[in-house]
Structure 1
Amino acid sequence: MWNWGLPPHLKTFIDSDVLVGRTFHYTENGPVGHLKGKKAIHIQVSGGTYSREPYTKMDHSHPYLKQVLIIVGMMMCLPSM
């Protein structure tokens, strides 16, 4: 986690590659990802515990990345803790 968000290089990669017509398209039912059946593993490190209240609302990176992966059609595999 970088200032409660994504590192700038990862954000630039997402902004450059998550584009309509390239990694997803819109239908009347919402976005459809072009990467169906692919999986992603999100491993996040931070200087504190942001997975528990009251700090969960400060973690903007995990919800954002999860939504990006859903839009492009990837599933997110979460390890059990």
Structure 2
Amino acid sequence: MINYTKFSILFFSLSIPIIIAVFWLNYSWLILLAFILLFITGLVLGSIKICSNFYIKTICRGFANKNAISITFDDGPNQNITPKI
């Protein structure tokens, strides 16, 4: 799967010919706009699909043969409740 670094390198390496085509060869600026929207869409999809490991390595599933739960602190540990856990 492609990660953020590879995606950005690919985008910026392809954006140079597109910028040249738009500004020097008088292609439509809609091509550049569509390319930027494609980049933003890729970033949004990478953010929505956490298991894609787009930004960082993530663990989305545990072992199916174990009866266990995972506790996460998405909002940070709460000083009053965390010691009770």
- What TM-score, normalized by structure 2, do the two folds share? 0.29
Q: Which structure ranks higher in relative contact order (CA pairs < 8 Å, sequence separation ≥ 6)? A: 1
- What TM-score, normalized by structure 1, do the two folds share? 0.30
The structure whose residues are more often helix, as a share, is 2
The structure whose residues are more often strand, as a share, is 1
Bigger radius of gyration, 1 or 2? 2
